[in-house]
Chains A and B, each alone.
Chain A
Amino acid sequence: MRKAITYFLSVFYLLFTQSTIAQQKNTLRYEIMLNSNMLEPSLKNDRFISCIDISPNKYITLSTSHKIYILGWGGITQFGKEADSTISSYAFASDGLLMAVKDRELCFMNEKGNLVTLVKLPNASMGIAEGKDVMYLFDQKRNDKGYKLYAFAKGGKYKQILVSPKPVISVIEMTDSLYLAIGSGVFSLSPKDYKLNLVAGFQKESEIKSMTNDPVNNILYVATRDAIYAIKNGSLVYVTSDFGGGIIKYFSNGLIIFNPETYDIIRIVNIDKSIIF
């Protein structure tokens, strides 16, 4: 009898615990990864650039103009060796290779932590974004020839995809389209027919700062300077303006919001379950 009661209580406890944990797992919550007073003054000598990514080992990756850092729960540390010229952007390729645009070169980080040149780029300070099979490179700095978007594939193949009258701010692959943030507009481009569509247009003052996507739920997140929005199946939802906009990155089931000026990094977990489209 005692055994039966013990067994029953154990099962009940396990079920109760599991249900509580499951409930917590799906609850909207906020994680504060970093703020300015967590950083040593020496780390504030160089500003972080407006770029954020997640390493294959699930560390937040940040960069100043010459040093790349990884950030986790409990610490931040330099990643690789100091670059000899200015880093403008970086991204992890789908196979885990860290690629960085250093001045006018596309580089990758080798196993010794050095940024090694891969190819020379048409312009300096280009942006870079990850695709499934390619890396996207795009002009962010003003030039007289328009702002161009390139796709760079393995084996040294590349293609100029389009020319924009304004800088290309962010490029995201989602489902079978390429999403571009240009000025205060979000556009989609289908590689099948190269047809371009306007997805969302914000006011002139609300220039887009970054975009990211949730590949499971097919949600595109767009950050302007002041607010964050979510787009799914043609429906746009205002998410928040309380943290400002800034640089965003979706990881697992959370949206990371990075403000390079204030050093604040906040992650909104289970955001996908909280937005009603």
Chain B
Amino acid sequence: MNMKKSWNLRFVLGLLLSLFLEVAAFPQVGLTTGDKIQAQQRSDAGNGFDYGNKSGSALQQLENMTGRQISTSNSNGQQNYQSVSSVHKVSAISANAALQNSIKMQLASGIASAFFSLIFSDNSQNDQKTIEAQRENAALLAQRAEAEKHYSDSISQAKYEKMMQSYKLLNDPKGVQFKALSATSTQFKSLDDPGAPLTMEDKERQNIKKHGINITWDYTSWNGISPGNNSIEEAPLSREDNESDKFLNAAIDKIETFEGGRVAALTGRFMINIKNETMSYLKDASEAATSGNISKMEETGQIDLRKLTSNAIFKTGQQTVNSYIEQGKDFISGELQENNFAAMKSGAQAVLQNFNIFAHVSDDWKVPLKQY
């Protein structure tokens, strides 16, 4: 009974320790395993933590576990690495998970074994030699883990590269291609699917068009097409300029004096700020805009830095699009000679019918005195 309790206690302690050490050890030493090691581990697992091992050193236990003769001389990392790598062979990416699980077990059981040997062995056996052997044991495991990490990293890198091959990068000239275009049917798509339900924005747009603020004309003063003459007649030439005409003439004359060299937006912005003022301001504005006096211009045309940021966003996208266009030209000239945009033969009538654009149009626009 006591023996059973002792086994249970050891098992629980071993499990907890394994879990703890696993978390602590993985980031430092990685994982390791190997077919031979697994086989040995499986055979050792049947023995459990055999008390018989107490009579041997930890080094012997390790040798039993790994099936290898371990040199107690000052071994270098390269030799150990080679010995491990000769055991370890990773043949496929899918084996990675199995390998990791296996090494978890190995690492945990190896360290736990050494730990329990230390706890349950006689004090007489807890000598310098044992400590040294355990240190070597840990070093060997760490080296194996390092080797395993190397393989694990290689697998991860291979996975990453494979994944990246499935992406098309914006700056990769071979990554983006234009879709081939059909010239053999009228089944090309409109900008937006006409059959799709309206988005909130579309609804708002239509609502504004129907009910929003709009120009309203007073038709009472308008001319009508005279009987027998379906022409729009010009107004008499003798008409004197009204205030709007005078303003238009003066403003256009003034704008005509704007010479190049200034930023157009700045000029425009400057002009906007005086739009409701009298013509005398127009002179000052034009002089400021053409003088190159930035501080004078900034008095009315403050540049908002946020706009520069906004424009930078555009700039980035535009460069990409320009690149696409160039790529498309090259690509299409080489690949799509027989399958590009084309005007269809006899397509005109088919489109009228297929798209039903001109079903029946109101006669409202027609001139009343002449039938077509």
Contacts and interface: CB of A to CB of B under 8 A. Distances in A.
Contacts of B368: 155-156
| Interface footprint category on A | 35 or more
A195 interface: yes
Given A120-B231, A163-B245, A236-B265, A30 B258 contact: no
B183 interface: yes
A173 to B, nearest CB: 5
B314 A96 contact: no
| Interface footprint category on B | 35 or more
Interface string B334-367: 0010001111100111111001111111101111
A66 interface: no
Contact of B215 (A55, A59, A131): A131
B248 interface: yes
Interface in A35-94: 35-40, 42-43, 54-60, 69-70, 72-81, 93-94
B247 A196 contact: yes
Contact of A81 (B233, B264, B318, B348): B348
Given A113-B348, A119-B230, A215-B208, A57 B258 contact: no
Contact of B361 (A95, A160, A191): A95
B164 to A, nearest CB: 21
B217 A202 contact: no
Nearest to A80: B348
B76 interface: no
Nearest to A56: B357
B219 A175 contact: no
A252 interface: yes
A106 to B, nearest CB: 8
B255 A111 contact: no
Contact of B264 (A162, A187, A194, A224): A224
B244 interface: yes
28 contacts: A28-B314, A30-B318, A30-B324, A32-B178, A39-B342, A43-B343, A57-B194, A57-B355, A72-B189, A75-B181, A75-B342, A77-B347, A78-B348, A111-B359, A118-B230, A118-B365, A119-B231, A121-B231, A133-B215, A155-B224, A162-B245, A182-B248, A198-B251, A199-B271, A200-B272, A242-B319, A252-B202, A276-B304
Given A77-B186, A191-B217, A201-B268, 5 more contacts: A37-B329, A69-B343, A72-B190, A132-B209, A197-B275
